[in-house]
Amino acid sequence: MYNNTVIYIFNRLVRLAILFFILYLIFTNFGTFLMILGVFFVIIAFLVYNFRKKMRETSYRFRFDSTNFQNGQNFNFNDFRNFNQSDFQGFANAPRFDEVAKAKEFFGFTSTPSKEEIKKRYKELAKKYHPDINDGNDEKMKELNHYRDILMKTVE
């Protein structure tokens, strides 16, 4: 019985000490800083919660059905599920028409060349525009490589 009373008194003293320590922190600069920081986080959490709640209530959900087509075509979006990304690479990487014209002009072609003609002409121009031959000037070589890539994309 004596031990239980001592433990009870000790627990009450520890709790009281913790309470006084918390009160001390509250009324010092550090405690004030912690309180302001806590209030700031509570306000931010409240604002985020209300914003998300409002977005859920008023969010626009896009729904599409085939009746939205004006010309009455039957269009099935499920047809696109079987396409691979590689099916569309030609469209994404196609060079502009003016770039192709500049590349043909740079290489000296008047019509659309074959791969072999591009490779042959590239080797000739590389010997002419190589930086070792042109005192380290590599601008023409960069331009040559760029135009070769453009022409190779048009042939493929």
Residue 151 belongs to a domain with what CATH number? 1.10.287
Q: How far apart are CA 52 and CA 114, in angstroms?
A: 59
Q: How many domains would you assign to the chain?
A: 2
Task: Tell me, yes or no, whether 42 and 100 share the same domain.
Answer: no
Q: What domain range includes position 105?
A: 88-155
Mean pLDDT of the chain: 78
In this prediction the pTM is 0.42
Q: How far apart are CA 52 and CA 62, in angstroms?
A: 18
Q: Is the dihedral of CA 98, 100, 106, 109 positive or negative?
A: negative
Task: Tell me, yes or no, whether 98 and 142 share the same domain.
Answer: yes
Torsion angles phi and psi, residue 113, rounded to 5: -85, 165
Task: Read off the pLDDT of residues 57-105 as tens digits, 9 standing for 90 and up.
Answer: 766 666 666 565 555 556 566 665 555 555 555 555 667 778 888 888 8
Which is more confident, 61 or 6? 6
* Structural domain contains residue 83: no
